[in-house]
Structure 1
């Protein structure tokens, strides 16, 4: 297997945990201290940020549109979908479905995600739940 194959396998396994909303499983893919958009963050705090999102959108799902491995970088372009069933940023549940774009770059070091740069169109979510 090549490094590319290893990283594809690593990422696909991680994505499975994400889409199952398995926060404990997700945490195992992170370095103990991981850079999130340039800010050093404890691995447990990273997954904690997903809890309110999944509470608001219990069927939150990431679908890969494009995935690129370049050296120690994994770059992913997603379509993210969910149904607004709980409070999100002060907005009570509307039952509306959302679909937004997300781009994420992961830097792998020693088999773990050491850095993540993420861009999610949160404004589009707010507009769609309206």
Structure 2
């Protein structure tokens, strides 16, 4: 299985909120933006995201693979509750993108570097 196949399986896992399978795609010692969060912390972060954004859906627009790395541009059209990235969204529909890079180790995501286009969100308010 290629890292591209693994990544698409990971995105399917997120979109279906199948947290019991997350360990198949994410390393026990995963780091997010250079901070060690571990698998449990990563799962908690994702579960919180889905609680705060009930219609969250990861729509991969661009995917580039150079094993063991993946670069992806993900598009979101969603309705966050309350405050989102410090912005008063309060149920307004917003669209934005995330540019995210992954490093795989032993066929699982070991490092995640994520940049979200907060300016695009602010411009919609």
TM above 0.5, one fold? yes
Matched, 1:11 2:7: yes
Matched, 1:35 2:31: yes
Matched, 1:58 2:54: yes
Structure 2 residue aligned with 1:26: 22
Tell me the SS of whatever aligns to 2:55: coil
Tell me the SS of whatever aligns to 1:49: helix
Structure 1 residue aligned with 2:90: 93
RMSD: 2.0
Deviation of the 1:81 alpha carbon: 1.8
Note closer, same or farther for the CA distance 1:22–1:124 as it changes in structure 2 (3 Å cut).
farther
Gaps of 5+ in 1: none
> TM-score, normalised on structure 2?
0.84
Paired positions, count: 123
Gaps of 5+ in 2: none
